[in-house]
Amino acid sequence: GMAAGFYIVYASEHLCLGGAEVGFLTAVLTGSQAVMNVAWGAVADRRGHKGVLLAASLAMALASMAAWAATSAGSLWVAFALLGASLAGNAVSGMNIVLEFCPPEDRPTYIALTNTLLAPTTALAPLVGGWLATRLGYRAMFALASAVAALGATILAFWTREPRHAGLSQGIVPSER
């Protein structure tokens, strides 16, 4: 996302973080990702990848709002925990939902198209975030990033079908237990 890379920069510049606090926030991020990778995997196996991606989008929106609202280094840990949850959800389900949408023989094409279409956004988002932070300030950029993530969650919730439950799944689906 456009804001995630700036949480620590904002905190260092405006909340006077020291090395110990940066280390703690890094541990929160890493720990959250580790725990949520396992949790999201279980959810994806049972419920599907759309729900995981929806939760990851909401976690990203909440992470940016938590960074926006942070008034001390101690209150910033919530943003890092939510960021870890979001990153883990995208890692677990981002590509796997594509595999469920496509027939096995078309997987290379779908994967290539997905990566090609995501590359510009992935590359430009932090640059736009930096530009916005310079022009409007970190907090305004965090608020905008939160709104964009919430918009993405809305689009996912209302205009994307879970391939597994909509009869669309043609790819890899966990066996019924």
Domains and CATH numbers, the chain: 4-159 (1.20.1250.20)
Nearest-angstrom CA–CA distance, 138 and 48:
35
Asked if 160 contacts 93 with a C-beta cutoff of 8 angstroms, the reply is no
pTM value is 0.90
Question: What's the confidence (pLDDT) of residue 73?
Answer: 80
pLDDT at 1: 83
- Burial class for 59, CB neighbours closer than 10 Å (0-12, 13-18, 19+): buried
Residue from 13, 127, 134 nearest 73 by CA:
13
- pLDDT in 10s for each residue of the chain, 177 residues: 899 999 999 998 999 888 899 999 999 999 999 999 999 999 999 999 999 999 999 999 999 999 999 998 888 999 999 999 999 999 999 999 999 988 899 999 999 999 999 999 999 999 999 999 999 999 999 999 999 999 999 999 999 988 887 665 555 555 544
Assigned token pair, 75: 């209150």
